Structure formats: C-alpha cells, structure tokens
C-alpha cells in the first residue's frame, strides 16, 4: 500500500515544495493526457458560443418569453380554479 502521508512529521498533511501528498511532481498534466483529441473543436454546422452575439440575444428573448408565458398560464389557471 502506498504511503500518502509521512507520519514521522508533525503535520504530514502540509504540502512540501515539489511534492503532492508525498509523491514528487514530475510533470504538469495537460488536457491531452485525459481528453480526447478534438474535444474543443465544434462539429460542422455548430458555432462556438460568443457572449452578447445576436444568436445569444434571440435565444434569451425566446427563453424569457416562454417563461413569462408559462407563469401567466399558471396564474390564469389558479384564478380560474378559485372562481
């Protein structure tokens, strides 16, 4: 079994320079190590998200219109059922 903490030290949970849980850091982990190639590319026909774009603004208008419509319908249902 691996020794994650050196119990001979006063505070074994504190990180030492160049060590993580008592294991030497040998290399920096990049996204290439754990992600599939092309994970950050968009499929054809799809475009990347851009904050404040016209596509985003139209989508937000549609979403909020839907929310207001549903809330209005629920309020009307409550009023009709209570009368």
Question: Is the distance from CB of 17 to CB of 9 less than 8 angstroms?
Answer: no
Could you tell me the pTM of the whole model?
Answer: 0.42
**Residue 65 or 32, more confident:** 65
Is residue 67's pLDDT more than 90?
yes
Residue whose entry in the numeric block shows the structure tokens 């190590």: 33
- Report yes or no on 33 lying in a domain: yes
Provide the domain limits for residue 60. Answer: 19-41+50-82
Residues in the chain: 83
Q: What is the rounded distance in angstroms from the CA atom of residue 29 to the CA atom of residue 18?
A: 14
- Report yes or no on 64 lying in a domain: yes
Q: What is the rounded distance in angstroms from the CA atom of residue 38 to the CA atom of residue 50?
A: 19
Query: Domain count of the chain?
Result: 1
- Report yes or no on 28 lying in a domain: yes
- Report yes or no on 34 lying in a domain: yes
| pLDDT (tens digit per residue) in 3-25 | 566 667 676 666 555 555 556 66
- Report yes or no on 1 lying in a domain: no
CA 16 vs CA 2, 8, 11, 35: distances in Å? 18, 14, 11, 29
């Amino acid at each position: 079994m691996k020794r994650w903490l050196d119990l001979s030290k006063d505070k074994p949970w504190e990180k030492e320079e160049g060590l993580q849980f008592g294991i030497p850091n040998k290399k920096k982990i990049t996204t290439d190590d754990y992600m599939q190639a092309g994970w950050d590319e968009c499929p054809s026909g799809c475009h990347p998200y851009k904050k404040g774009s016209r596509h985003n603004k139209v989508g937000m208008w549609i979403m909020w219109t839907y929310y207001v419509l549903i809330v209005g319908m629920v309020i009307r249902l409550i009023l009709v059922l209570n009368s």
